[in-house]
Amino acid sequence: MKKKLCIYICLIFILILPSGCIQKKVQTISTRKYVMYNIGVLPKDLLMLDNDNIRQQDLLLCLFEGLISVDKNDEIVPALAYEWNISDDGLCYTFKMREKAKWSNGRKIKAQDFVEFFSKVLICKNNIYKEQLYCIFGAKDYVENKVDFKSVAITAIDDKTLEIRLNYPCSYFLQILSQPIYALRKDFKYLEDWKNKYSSIMYSGPFNLDNIIENDELCLIKNNEYWDKKSVLSEKIHISSEKMDAFAVADYKANETDIIVNPPISVIDEFIKKNEFFQSPSIEGISLKFNLYKGGVITNSDFRKSINYCINRNDIVENKLEGVGEAAVDYIPENINEESKAVVLDLYSNIDKAKKFLEKSKYNGQKIKIAYFNNKDINKKIVNSIVKALKILNINVSSEGYNEDELKKVINNGEYDILLSNYQGEYNFSMCFLEKYSSDSIFNIYGYKSHKFDEAILKAKIAQTKEKQIEFLNKAKEILIDDMPCIPICFVDNIVCKKNYIKNIEINKKGNIILKRVYVNNNKLKP
């Protein structure tokens, strides 16, 4: 159980720090032609299979490319595969590789490269994504060491044809494959030691890593072997790694960074006035998770529903997020592209209903502790709002914020009743949100178990029609609403601040910054 906890704990943190009063000397810009982008913390490796850090995945999108990808409109688009066909029964996917697809050393990319890639990805240590690929025939047995990879239905028919066969029709399989973590990579030993071996790595994307400068600044240069190099408009991009938001904002104001993502809310108005700000809906939310392993009143669904009715989601979005988000009226963001109905949660608190459910729970004054990551002021504001509401009901509640290392220990030791955490989908389909509550999911570290829910998710996965799939997904959501193991609060928007001379920046629904076509418009540079 502890291993399972450790794999996922890093995913609950939202890495945004409060702004400070840091001043830096503003640099003049006149001839610089390359983009400077801050991604925060650099990855420990270029596999990135043990975390879901969106900013680090931006680097993956620069250096590597998969069979397919998603554009800024979240539409599936060709990448190293120029076309694909799906069999009538929905079980066989055939991808055709581009003739011009090459590694950065000029060697042709072949279908067998993807076969080898998936064989390694599936058995990578602490891979939090492997369950996504269990829809592939033989994949789960291979991970569990029951068969060798020859029994996995990922096959190179020839150098330019890759075939993948599934256990059941999976309507969102292309969404799964479009994620940055399935971008084609090779020589995993170099990827694990990338800071020392970057010159030995074979790149498949629009840029190569050319150098690591002091203070962990990365210099990326255009990959001239990339199949779509004509669309890559920058010869060079610099990636900085200032992990503290206060310093990142200072670098931006001093013209040492051109692009920052999700800055502190307190500075957003300043960027809006300069027309250096844009926002878009995301698939990342903030929620309350209940520690169902701990026992006591927390395990009572009526008590959890009482807390749900105390929450004023509209107030949190308008006054705590200051409008850069939306209230969570469902477990699934409203901008997910499918036809499943929303299971509506209340926008406003309903204290009368909260009192009725609290009475049914037979709450006897047990002390309730809310833990949260104290890396940004918004977390504290949300928790304070909830604590204030719970005290109206005379619930004996306290809250405590922790730094990253402290919170990991608190979660590992189960020293909390309720946890304020972020959650997000890896791709544009509701399954990636809902299946995390399955009993055997690596993401389910809070003790929720429901045979009815597991059955609904399984039936949704193997449903033969879209209509049936939606029906079972809605059933799963209804079960979650009734059991309330987690309370969605809000979904946060993607916020990007960029200089006016930066052109063609794109951001997808998940929040990845796509730098493939970005460039500096020198006519807009300040002399």
pLDDT of 92 strictly over 70: yes
> Using an 8 Å Cβ cutoff, are 17 and 458 in contact?
no
| Cα atoms found within 13 Å of the Cα of residue 399, Cβ hemisphere only | 20
Q: What Å distances lie between residue 245 and 15, 214, 376, 403, 500, CA to CA? A: 9, 20, 9, 15, 21
Quick one: average pLDDT of 97-101?
Answer: 97
Q: Which residue has the tokens 């789960």?
A: 140
Which of 4-8, 30-34, 382-386 bottoms out in mean pLDDT, i.e. has the lowest?
4-8
Angle between helices 351-361 and 301-310 (to 10 degrees): 160
* Per-residue pLDDT at 26: 53
Dihedral of the alpha carbons of 345, 350, 351, 356, in degrees to the nearest 10: -70
Task: Please check whether the domain covering 280-493 is classified as CATH 3.10.105.10.
Answer: yes
Domain 2-13+33-258+499-519 fold is: D-Maltodextrin-Binding Protein; domain 2 (3.40.190)
The residue to which tokens 């990448």 are assigned: 79
What is the C-alpha to C-alpha distance for residues 73 and 28, in angstroms, rounded to an integer?
35
Give residue 404's pLDDT band: very low, low, confident or very high (50, 70, 90).
confident
Backbone conformation region of residue 364, classed left if phi is above 0, alpha if psi is from -120 to 50, else beta: alpha
Residue 51 has pLDDT above 50, yes or no: yes
All CATH 3.40.190.10 domain ranges in the chain, comma separated:
2-13+33-258+499-519
Strand partners, 490: 286, 327
- The H-or-E segment that residue 219 falls in is strand 217-222
Instruction: Tell me the one-letter amino acid at 269.
Output: D
What digits encode the pLDDT tens for the residues 240-285? 998 788 888 999 998 889 999 988 888 888 888 899 988 888 888 9
Q: Which position has the token pair 């055709």? A: 96
Tokens of 321: 């997020």
Report residue 283 as tokens. 């698939």
Residue 525: pLDDT band with limits 50, 70, 90: low
CATH 3.10.105.10 in the chain, residues?
Answer: 280-493
Encode pLDDT of 456-513 as tens digits.
Answer: 999 999 998 888 999 999 999 999 999 999 999 999 888 899 999 999 999 988 889 9
Are 492 and 282 within 8 A, CB to CB? yes
